[in-house]
Amino acid sequence: DLPTIYAITPTYKRWTQKADLTRLGQTLLHVPNFRWIVVEDSNEKTALVTNFLKFSGLQYTHLNAKTDQNYKLKSTDPNWLLPRGVAQRNKGLTWIRKNLSPHNNGILYFLDDDNTYSLRVFEEMRSTEVASVWPVGLSGGLKFEGPGKCKDGKVLEWYTAWKPERPFPIDMAGFAVNLKLLFKYSEAEYSNDAPRGYLESHFLTGLKLKRHDMEAKADNCSKVLVWHTRTEKPKMKQEEALIRQGKSSNSEMEV
């Protein structure tokens, strides 16, 4: 049987949210045996995401979990100041642990809403026995980050420049784990208090994994199948001026 991929996506309100979700959702329509766990960073589920999912054609679970104010970035903060998506990923993990069991043949993946995913990365992760890893393009200040040299499904060298001492010098998009492991170590989760750059490492060490445990995917880590792209903030000077003056029209237009 083809294992099901359970992908957890944190998402938050911003000008490009619907555009990013549309692009990602249309990629995911091509992935068989897939459930999308979308977790909004909000107190309530929004109409925008509710409607988007309803008409997406995807199998999904819609949740929400607001980031604690103390950990919330201000729009003027540089994005590296605080971790992003922690409460949302944990909410998704809780849902999986409540609604599935170790008998579910499934793979867990964390899918950020603005990255770029080749369909091949989903086929690669589907055979994950315990935990797997592959390079992520445009990450860590390098053309790619993560496993750099692999042989016979094992990682021999890691390609990383920033904080190479991290237990796992990889991006969120560069690993998947078998659901069995999630039930075996039922406490493993994300933390807002992990040092900067240690989000992935904190979670993976919580699953009692070591670097050498990781199964190398993507043709012995010789291919980049996922890219850490980021969506540019659109220039909304005119619209924001209208909003401030209470003159923004077309309030029924969902963008």
The residues that are catalytic are: 200
Give the interface segment with ligand UDP, choosing from 25-33, 46-54, 112-120, 158-166 (CB under 6 A).
Answer: 112-120
Q: Is 112 a binder of Mn ion (CB under 5 A)? A: yes
Q: Rounded CA gap, 63 and 252, in Å?
A: 24
Phi, psi dihedral angles at 45 (to 5 degrees): -70, 135
Q: DSSP alpha helices (H): ranges in 29-151?
A: 47-54, 86-99, 119-125
Q: For residues 29 and 23, is the Cβ–Cβ distance under 8 A?
A: no
CB 48 within 8 A of CB 20: no
Q: Is 114 in the site for Mn ion (CB under 5 A)?
A: yes
Kindly state whether residue 113 participates in binding ligand UDP, applying the rule CB under 6 A.
yes
CB 132 within 8 A of CB 124: yes
In which order are the strands placed within the sheet that holds 175-178? 60-64, 34-40, 4-11, 106-110, 175-178, 131-133, 215-216
Q: Which member of 5, 6, 8, 11 binds ligand UDP (CB under 6 A)?
A: 11
174 is a site residue for ligand UDP (CB under 6 A): no
> Which C-beta is closer to ligand UDP: that of 11 or that of 160?
11
**Under rule CB under 6 A, residue 213 binds ligand UDP:** no
Annotated ligand binding at 166? The verdict is no
CB of 138 to Mn ion, least distance (A): 10
State the nearest-atom distance from the C-beta of 230 to ligand UDP, in Å.
Answer: 5
State yes or no: residue 123 binds Mn ion (CB under 5 A).
Answer: no
Helix (H, G, I), strand (E, B) or coil at 227: strand
Phi, psi values for residue 221, rounded to 5°: 50, 35
* Residue 230 counted as an annotated binding residue: yes
CA 218 centroid distance within chain: 18
Residues in touch with ligand UDP (CB under 6 A): 9-12, 41, 67, 73, 79, 84-85, 88, 112-114, 230
- Which parts are annotated binding residues for UDP-alpha-D-glucuronate? 10-12, 41, 84, 89, 112-114, 228-230
Residues in touch with Mn ion (CB under 5 A): 112, 114
- Which parts are annotated binding residues? 10-12, 41, 84, 89, 112-114, 228-230
